[in-house]
């Protein structure tokens, strides 16, 4: 097992800048998720680590060894492609045995390892089949088996669950995580699904438009998003954003939006005011309470629509002409058009610079 370091790595395809100045350190045995919307450069990054693409700039290190110029076969990585890329003309057994045959592993050793991996992934009874005779979930296991059988130093997974149905995805999520912890292989896991990343990874690298946005453990990403993009990308339903100015009146600080004024905790207000006055406030749907009578320092709004989710409900609330989403337990009857007040958890609100989108607090 190794630690992987991406040192200022960029990849350009002609004019398209797929990855820009990416810095990542992935610890030995760590499970890191690359998270971002489609087209943000996740696959490109993975292919550079695998050695398929050469970085336009920058270096890639496995432990202390510079592998930037090494071809894929000299890197000892295992990879599961988004399409699984099973060899259609080979049986499942031959697919899994393929990397070992290339390494000239003795025949009985190959047989033992293939059977062992097949057992681990519970595909023993599929070994004689052709890939076209497998379901999506089975193909995914075979692809994983082929990546694992060579005991790679680094395991690369490119959206391995995206072709599975929702139910199987949840099962495989847990299974992959357990497997990774068991085998302790340094793993880079690409996904556009924040729930997947949050539930599986030790750390998450959020990317957008080829650039790294934030690299942190899931809870930190959730509680302290570094910028507007991360704040909006992590969490479902997403964070609510409201534009406004920070004003100081008689030594007290207020967040002044078009439709309401909110008194801030003094220390927070001071910090924000020292940086900028034009801000965007953000709060998560679960960090606000709906109350039915006016109280000081609340925001008035009207119920717009209620979406029941079973255990919880999402209440869409209209403030002026903005709509915010609030996640809450079903309680009092809420009817569209009804006047309500929002009480924000003032310790859990976020402020971002309007100009740069960077988090202030």
Ligand X SMILES: Nc1ncnc2c1ncn2[C@@H]1O[C@H](COP(=O)(O)OP(=O)(O)O)[C@@H](O)[C@H]1O
Nearer to ligand X, 43 or 139 (CB): 43
- Candidate segments 37-45, 84-92, 241-249, 282-290, binder of ligand X by CB under 6 A: 37-45
81: which residues sit within 8 A by CB, 6+ positions away? 143, 158
133: which residues sit within 8 A by CB, 6+ positions away? none
Nearest to 32 by CA among 173, 187, 138: 187
**Residue 77 beta carbon to other proteins: minimum distance, rounded to whole angstroms:** 6
Nearer to other proteins, 102 or 174 (CB): 102
- Is 40 among the residues that bind ligand X (CB under 6 A)? yes
CA distances from 274 to 79, 123, 242, 263, 346 (A): 48, 61, 20, 16, 19
- Is 132 among the residues that bind ligand X (CB under 6 A)? no
CA distances from 201 to 177, 189, 236, 241 (A): 8, 8, 17, 27
Strand 31-35 and strand 186-191: pairing?
parallel
Per partner kind, with CB cut-offs from 5 to 8 A, the member of Mg ion, other proteins, ligand X, none near residue 235 is: none
Interface characters, 4-23, with ligand X (x: CB under 6 A): ---------x--x-x-----
- Is 52 among the residues that bind other proteins (CB under 8 A)? yes
Size of the site for other proteins (CB under 8 A): 32
Bridge partners, 231 (sequence order) = none
Among residue numbers 114 through 173, which ones bind other proteins (CB under 8 A)? 131-132, 134-136, 139, 146, 150, 163
- Is 208 among the residues that bind Mg ion (CB under 5 A)? no
- Is 43 among the residues that bind Mg ion (CB under 5 A)? yes
Per partner kind, with CB cut-offs from 5 to 8 A, the member of ligand X, other proteins, Mg ion, none near residue 84 is: other proteins
Strand 313-319 and strand 299-308: pairing?
antiparallel
DSSP string, 236-296: SSPPEEEEEEEEEETTEEEEE-SS-EEEPPHHHHHHHHHH-SEEEEEE-GGGEEEESS--T
**Residue 337 beta carbon to Mg ion: minimum distance, rounded to whole angstroms:** 44
Per partner kind, with CB cut-offs from 5 to 8 A, the member of Mg ion, other proteins, ligand X, none near residue 314 is: none
- Is 44 among the residues that bind Mg ion (CB under 5 A)? no
Nearest to 201 by CA among 329, 29, 361, 16: 29
- Candidate segments 32-40, 98-106, 163-171, 310-318, binder of ligand X by CB under 6 A: 32-40
Per partner kind, with CB cut-offs from 5 to 8 A, the member of other proteins, ligand X, Mg ion, none near residue 98 is: other proteins
- Candidate segments 31-39, 62-70, 281-289, 307-315, binder of ligand X by CB under 6 A: 31-39
Exactly one of 20, 44, 156, 176 binds ligand X (CB under 6 A); that residue is 44
Nearer to other proteins, 148 or 317 (CB): 148
Exactly one of 23, 54, 66, 71 binds other proteins (CB under 8 A); that residue is 71
- 3-state SS class at 49: helix
Place of tokens 């220390």: 267
C-alpha torsion sign, points 123, 128, 131, 135: negative
C-alpha to C-alpha distance for 235 and 164, rounded to whole angstroms: 22
DSSP string, 141-176: HHHHHHHHTT--SEEEEESTTTTS-HHHHHHHHHHH
Interface characters, 72-101, with other proteins (x: CB under 8 A): xx---xxx-xxxxxxxxx--------xx--
C-alpha to C-alpha distance for 200 and 176, rounded to whole angstroms: 8
Yes or no: say if 90 and 99 are a contact pair by the CB < 8 Å rule.
Answer: no
- Under the rule (CB under 6 A), what is the footprint of ligand X? 13, 16, 18, 36, 38-44
- Under the rule (CB under 8 A), what is the footprint of other proteins? 47, 50-52, 71-73, 77-79, 81-89, 98-99, 102-103, 131-132, 134-136, 139, 146, 150, 163
């Amino acid at each position: 097992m190794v630690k992987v370091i991406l040192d200022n790595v960029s990849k350009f395809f002609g004019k398209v800048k797929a990855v820009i100045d990416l810095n990542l350190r992935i610890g030995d045995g760590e499970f890191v998720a690359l998270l971002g919307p489609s087209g943000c450069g996740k696959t490109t990054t993975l292919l550079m680590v695998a050695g398929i693409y050469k970085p336009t700039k920058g270096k890639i290190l496995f432990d202390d060894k510079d592998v930037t110029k090494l071809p894929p076969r000299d890197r000892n990585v295992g990879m599961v492609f988004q399409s699984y890329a099973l060899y259609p003309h080979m049986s499942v057994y031959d697919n899994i045995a393929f990397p070992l045959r290339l390494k000239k592993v003795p025949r009985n050793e190959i047989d033992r390892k293939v059977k062992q991996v097949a057992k681990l992934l519970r595909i023993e009874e599929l070994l004689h089949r052709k890939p076209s005779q497998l379901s999506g979930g089975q193909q995914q296991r075979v692809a994983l088996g082929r990546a694992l059988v060579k005991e790679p130093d680094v395991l690369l997974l490119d959206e391995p669950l995206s072709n599975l149905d929702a139910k199987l995805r949840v099962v495989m999520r847990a299974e992959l995580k357990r497997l990774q912890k068991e085998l302790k292989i340094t793993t880079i896991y690409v996904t556009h699904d924040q729930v997947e990343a949050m539930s599986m990874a030790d750390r998450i690298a959020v990317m957008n438009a080829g650039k790294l946005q934030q690299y942190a453990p899931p809870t930190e990403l959730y509680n302290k998003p570094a910028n507007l993009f991360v704040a909006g990308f992590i969490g479902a339903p997403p964070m609510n954003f409201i534009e406004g100015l920070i004003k100081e009146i008689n030594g007290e600080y207020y967040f002044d939006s078009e439709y309401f004024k909110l008194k801030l905790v003094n220390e927070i207000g001071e910090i924000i005011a020292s940086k900028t006055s034009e801000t965007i406030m953000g709060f998560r749907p679960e960090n606000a309470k709906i109350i039915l009578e006016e109280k000081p320092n609340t925001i008035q709004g009207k119920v717009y629509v209620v979406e029941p989710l079973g255990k919880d409900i999402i209440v869409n609330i209209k403030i002026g002409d903005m709509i915010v989403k609030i996640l809450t337990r079903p309680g009092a009857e809420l009817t569209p058009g009804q006047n309500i007040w929002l009480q924000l958890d003032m310790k859990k609100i976020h402020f971002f610079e309007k100009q740069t989108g960077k988090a202030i607090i």
